Structures are given as structure tokens and as C-alpha cells.
Amino acid sequence: MSVRVAIAVTPGFEGEAQRLADSLQLELTGPNDSSADFLLLFEQDCLKLRQTGQRAPGAVFVDFVAGKSAYRRNQGEGRKTPLARAVGFKSGFVPSVIDATAGLGQDALVLATLGCRITLVEQSPIVHALLEDGLRRGAESPQTRDIIERMPLIHANAAEYLLELLPDERPDAVYLDPMYPHRGRKALSKKEMQSFQKLLGRDQSGPLLLQAARAVAGKRVAVKRPVKAPFLGNETADFQIIRSKVRFDVYLSARPPDSVFS
């Protein structure tokens, strides 16, 4: 089923809306247009994705400065947290990382706060636009400017991007957080997951992306999974870091099975 997305023009942001419509090749409409499934619109200098219709979740946007992001930055979660351990932080060693499933960039922000240079790769042009806007605003804030400098953003198919890296461009670690096909109402409680699942559909590329990541990561690949989910692509990890609701599957071997790329 196709999903229709339009750019809503809001007062004071007519120029921004036109440039975004040109960039994404989407039509312009009004902010109250309910014929589109989703509207991209600027509100208070922030790009938001709003699902239309009754009982639609709240707008989705990227904010690296305030709210949950500020809490995660200021808590100083440290290099001994499961996420940091999963990508290979050690005493005296800060890994270079590619987040090949950038999404809304929250895990990448945590790693960048710890001093890691982490390249965000996002294939969806709409999610990329949300990320780009969040990074723009984050770069303008004295609280996050230095952190954002360590978070370059790439718009690309992640598997293709990884396999095209030159040897000296390859990271120490690749981080993957593929969308898991949750079921049940409890799984749809977060507005980001509700909107993303309808907008992007079910992601079938996870196993291939894992193989590409293992082919280029210098030290490891870390995959974030729901605690009871099967291994991505049914590939058993070298070890796991398990929390109550999520776990990190860590693959130390960088060589994929020969059949995948032969």
C-alpha cells in the first residue's frame, strides 16, 4: 500500500517549504490537508512529520538539544553502559563508528557525547530530512555544537555505502538498530515506531545489511534487538549484552559467509 506524503506550508516558512518540496520531489499543500497520510511541516523553526487522521500519534521530529536528548547527555551515561561496551569503548580507546540505521539518531547522540565520531547513514529521504534539520539546530546551540560536529550525516543505502568504503575509510565498529516487526498494542505505544512503521513499512534488508557490516567493520558489529527477538538473519553472535527489554548482539568476525558476496 502506497503512502502519500506532502509538504505543508506554514506561515513564515514558505521558502523552507518550497525548498524541501523541490528537494524531496513532493507536492505543497496546506497544514490542514487530511488527504495525505503524512505532512512534513515547519513549526517554530523545527521540521516535523505529522501523521494525519483520527487517533494519529503526535508529530515526530529530531531534537538533539532539549527534552529526552538533554537528559541522556546530562546523565553522563558513561563508557561502561551496554551501548558503549557493545561498540567497543575501552579504557583509552574510543572507536570510530558508522550507525547504518540512523533513524532519529538518539543512540548516535549518546556515542557522540562520549567522544565518538559516528557517521549516521539513513536511506529514507524523509527521515534523512528530519535528521538533517535536527543536526542543523543542534549545531546552532552552544550546548551541542561540539557533539554535532562528530555526527556527519549520509543519505544512502547503508549496505551499498558500507561496501563502497575504501580501506582507510572503514570504521572500527558498525552499529545496527533495525526496526523489528513488533506485534500487539503495547509495541505501538511510542509515536516514533507507529509513524515509522506506517511510513517505511517492514524492513527486510537487515540480514544483508549485517553481512555488509561484517565485511567492513574493523573490529566488530553491534546489533540492537528486543531481548526475545531471534538473531538478525539467524546469525549467532559472538557474545551478547542483555538488559531487561533490549540486548546487543556483538559480532567480532568481520568476514561474512562466502555465499553472500561471491
For residues 49 and 196, give the distance between their C-alpha atoms in angstroms, rounded to a whole number: 10
Q: Which residue has the cell 523541490?
A: 22
Q: Domain 67-261: which CATH class?
A: alpha beta
Give the single-character DSSP code of 232: G
pLDDT at residue 252 tops 50: yes
**What grid cell was written down for 122?**
539513513
For residues 60 and 51, give the distance between their C-alpha atoms in angstroms, rounded to a whole number: 9
For residues 153 and 67, give the distance between their C-alpha atoms in angstroms, rounded to a whole number: 22
| pLDDT digit string, tens, across residues 38-49 | 999 999 999 999
**For the chain, where are the E strands, in sequence order?**
5-8, 28-29, 38-43, 46-51, 97-99, 118-122, 153-155, 173-176, 220-226, 239-242, 246-251
Q: Which residue has the cell 532519529?
A: 104
| pLDDT digit string, tens, across residues 111-164 | 999 999 999 999 999 999 999 999 999 999 999 999 999 999 999 999 999 999
pLDDT-wise least confident of 2-16, 70-84, 203-217 = 70-84
Domain with CATH 3.40.50.150 in the chain: 67-261
| pLDDT digit string, tens, across residues 11-28 | 999 999 999 999 999 999
Cα atoms in the Cβ-side hemisphere of radius 13 Å centred on 260:
16
For residues 126 and 151, give the distance between their C-alpha atoms in angstroms, rounded to a whole number: 18
For residues 217 and 235, give the distance between their C-alpha atoms in angstroms, rounded to a whole number: 16
